[in-house]
Amino acid sequence: MIRTGVVGATGYAGAELVRILAGHPEVFLTVLTSRRYAGVPFEKVYPAMSGMIDLVCEAYDESRICEKADVIFLALPHKLPMGFVPGLLKQGKKVIDLSADFRFSDLGVYESLYQPHTAKDLCARAVYGLCEVFPERIKGSDLIANPGCYPTSVLLPLFPLVKHRLIDPDTIIADSKSGVSGAGRSLSLTTHFCEADESFKAYKVGGHRHKPEMEEKLSLAAGKPVKITFVPHLLPMTRGMETTIYADLAREVKEADIEACFREFYAGRRFIRLTDQHRPPDTLHVRGTNLCDIGFVVEKDKGRIILMSVIDNLVKGAAGQAVQNMNIMLGFDEAAGLEFIPYAV
């Protein structure tokens, strides 16, 4: 049985990893770290899981972690992982990093958005862990850069269509809406209950750091540089992300071509569901699961497509996809530990 550890286990993505790994049939959870809660039993930090997780949070200690775990998940703020990854890889561990540190091929873009990179040589080794798009590359990897939540919700509906040139990549506009848990557990006025409840608003308009991440991967699909318009918004709910995407169809492309493209590209992928044309995807239908529901409508008169996707930002947008990456890396069923059936309500 594989042993797994979570570094940064007490943020929301970390805690979601704990929830999923604790119920995973093929792995053990053996070590949890937390700067803030070192020495505190995990179940005291998250009493929801009381009686179910008997690990105590520890300070980060490379040799101890390497001794205890075979696969290590890093659920840390950006910049920290690039300091930890080299050592972990040197000891032969498999690493899945949920931060942005290893997501970019173009280090210049990374450094302009985040900070100077201190493990540049490893960037080429890292595989961008968008599971349904790069499964083969993930299979052979020992360092996964787990995609951001917004990029996941934008790329899953767009990648197949851009790759197969069914839409014009220069016309893409993505209007995303995220539940508050996407902002994490750190306190701020924006995530204070009274300021988020019964409120809806855009934020970081035109300037969110997930946009260049999307653009790099879409450029890869298009085989040429792609720039998009992306606006994130904050929803008055905890979990869930919806993205509505607008793009011009390539010449002569019909509804049936779109559907066929999706069906082929995602054939056999259990976490992608195409929704009925008359029932747009609903965040509630994927809550707590690793699913991504995708729907679309073609506006014939304008030659435009409207794509809609929904995910749970903490699962498919973070911890769930990370575990799916592990499953693929280790040759497990990709759905192992992730077969959550959505609630009716």
- Give residues 174-233 in contact with a second copy (rule: CB under 8 A): 175, 177, 180-181, 185, 187-189, 191-203, 205-206, 227, 229, 231, 233
Nearer CB in complex with a second copy: 121/187: 187
Report whether 328 contacts 133 (CB < 8 A).
no
Nearer CB in complex with a second copy: 10/141: 10
CB of 58 to a second copy, least distance (A): 19
Q: Which of residues 114-173 bind a second copy (CB under 8 A)?
A: 173
Nearer CB in complex with a second copy: 141/283: 283
Report whether 176 contacts 231 (CB < 8 A).
yes
Q: Which of residues 290-329 bind a second copy (CB under 8 A)?
A: 295, 297, 299, 301-302, 304, 306, 308, 310
CB of 270 to a second copy, least distance (A): 8
* Polymer length in residues for the chain: 345
Q: For the chain, how big is the Rg over CA atoms in Å?
A: 20
Nearer CB in complex with a second copy: 102/271: 271
Backbone angles phi, psi at 76, to 5 degrees: -125, 165
**Residue type present at position 128:** Y
83, 116, 225, 236: which one binds a second copy (CB under 8 A): 236
* Contact between 112 and a second copy per CB under 8 A: no
Tokens of 101: 């540190």
Report whether 8 contacts 311 (CB < 8 A).
no
CB of 191 to a second copy, least distance (A): 5
Tokens of 132: 């349904």
CB of 164 to a second copy, least distance (A): 22
* Contact between 79 and a second copy per CB under 8 A: no
Active-site annotation holder among 66, 149, 261, 292: 149
343: left (phi over 0), alpha (psi -120 to 50) or beta: beta
CB of 135 to a second copy, least distance (A): 19
CB of 326 to a second copy, least distance (A): 18
Question: How does strand 272-274 pair with strand 241-248?
Answer: unpaired
Nearer CB in complex with a second copy: 22/221: 22
Report whether 101 contacts 82 (CB < 8 A).
yes
* Contact between 288 and a second copy per CB under 8 A: yes
Nearer CB in complex with a second copy: 22/95: 22
7, 19, 117, 145: which one binds a second copy (CB under 8 A): 19
* Contact between 15 and a second copy per CB under 8 A: yes
Q: What angle do CA 308, 312, 315 make, to 5 degrees?
A: 135
Residue closest to 72 by CA, chosen among 2, 137, 147: 2
* Contact between 286 and a second copy per CB under 8 A: yes
Q: Which helix (H) or strand (E) holds 64?
A: helix 62-68
Q: Which of residues 38-77 bind a second copy (CB under 8 A)?
A: 46-52
Query: How many C-beta atoms surround the C-beta of residue 67 within 10 A?
Result: 12
Q: Which helix (H) or strand (E) holds 310?
A: strand 304-311
Tokens of 97: 């990093």
Tell me which residue has tokens 């990370």: 322
Per-residue x/- track, 244-283, a second copy (CB under 8 A) = x-x-----------------------x--x-xx--xxxxx
CB of 98 to a second copy, least distance (A): 15
Determine the Cα–Cα distance for residues 58 and 48; give it in Å rounded to an integer: 20
Q: Say whether 149 is catalytic.
A: yes
54, 67, 264, 339: which one binds a second copy (CB under 8 A): 339
Determine the Cα–Cα distance for residues 305 and 262; give it in Å rounded to an integer: 14
- The catalytic site residues sit at 149
